[in-house]
Amino acid sequence: MSLGFVYLRYRRKGKSPIEADMFTQERISFYKLSQATDNYDERNFLGKGSFGSVYKGTLDDGRVVAVKVFDLQSEGALMSFGAECEALRNLRHRNLTKVISSCSNPDFKALVLEFMPNGNLEKWLYSSDSSLDIIKRLDILVDVASALQYLHYECATPVVHCDLKPSNVLLDEDMVAHVSDFGLAKLLAPEESIVYTKTLATFCYLAPEYGSEGIVSPKCDVYSFGIMMMEVFTRMNPNNEMFGETLSLRSWVVDSMANTLARIVDANLVSTTDRHYLEKLECISSIMKLALNCTKKSPAERSNIRDALVALKKIKIQLVQYV
């Protein structure tokens, strides 16, 4: 069953049990959040998502936080808030964004999150004044894969994130990656390996079965992760205008693997003048092969995230010799 329906079943009675017990240690009022964000002043605006906006705030005790305010006029926002509360209430992992508290009344719903001072991965990939070296990009992918392994295999109730993409990967002060935004997440009951949904995430990262049939399983996250791996090392957005019905980021990588991989890899990562140019390119080739295995059309043929994480760690052991 999708989270939205679980949440709506309780909403008529007021605050859901999920919401009520999610943050028993700390409650932050609407008034305190307004103070913390200077009434949601535009100077504190961090970004906007499908269901609301995020603001930087400073609490009374000096803690800097991110306040995610849901736009309740937006279709699906209320369901997203319930889904995020449900998914996050029992999750604890170094590579997931920590939720500090929530604020909920009939006209206002917000989550108070750990603030990530280095923004999101998308900003670092495409900003002209930011750059990530080859090891740091691989470290970030290992962090994300570690988070997914936890969600898929180490939780009492497996969680499928359903909206994995660079803008949902946040970076802390040490550039450690944290997966965020569980507004579309689905929980799998013990007897379930898949669920069905009508709520779709960002199209160019969607697994085929998710986009066409609404079938959600952990292999959907693996597919999105594979697309993100390609994006991280090519610095090419899968939504780029060059891609369309006949060409996708994946098919572009497939076409280049045999002879022209060097042409599609981000030029900031390898140079022909580098003493270890061929060795580095071989490591990137291994990453791309793994990405292609993660993005096979059939879910049954895709790698699982455990195997992908092991492979990435082995590639890093090789790569560090050449940097």
Q: Which domains does the chain have, with CATH numbers?
A: 3-114 (3.30.200.20), 121-322 (1.10.510.10)
How do residues 167-177 score in pLDDT, each as one tens digit? Answer: 999 999 999 99
Token pair belonging to 217: 């399983």
Token pair belonging to 101: 């508290």
| Cα dihedral value 95, 200, 244, 268, nearest 10 | -10
For residues 281 and 95, give the distance between their C-alpha atoms in angstroms, rounded to a whole number.
28
| Catalytic residue selected from 107, 139, 163, 274 | 163
* Cβ pair 148, 221 in contact under 8 A: yes
Q: Would residue 107 be called left, alpha or beta, if left means φ above 0 and alpha means ψ between -120 and 50 degrees? A: alpha
Residue 156 pLDDT class (50, 70, 90 cuts): confident
163 labelled catalytic: yes
Residue 212 pLDDT class (50, 70, 90 cuts): confident
Q: Looking at residues 233-259, what average pLDDT do you find?
A: 92
Cβ atoms within 10 A of the Cβ of 17, count?
10
> Quick one: which H or E segment has residue 96?
none
For residues 135 and 168, give the distance between their C-alpha atoms in angstroms, rounded to a whole number.
20
Token pair belonging to 125: 């990939």
Residue 211 pLDDT class (50, 70, 90 cuts): confident
Looking at residue 304, the DSSP 8-state letter turns out to be P
Query: Does 13 score more than 80 pLDDT?
Result: no
The reported pTM is: 0.88
* Cβ pair 289, 257 in contact under 8 A: yes
For residues 16 and 82, give the distance between their C-alpha atoms in angstroms, rounded to a whole number.
8
Query: Does 24 score more than 50 pLDDT?
Result: no
H helices of 245-303, in order, are 249-257, 261-264, 277-294
* Lowest-confidence pick of 35-44, 69-78, 109-118, 154-163: 69-78
pLDDT of residue 11: 37
How do residues 59-113 score in pLDDT, each as one tens digit? Answer: 999 999 999 999 998 878 888 888 888 778 789 999 999 989 989 898 999 999 9
pLDDT of residue 295: 98
Closest-CA residue to 287 (of 230, 207, 205): 230
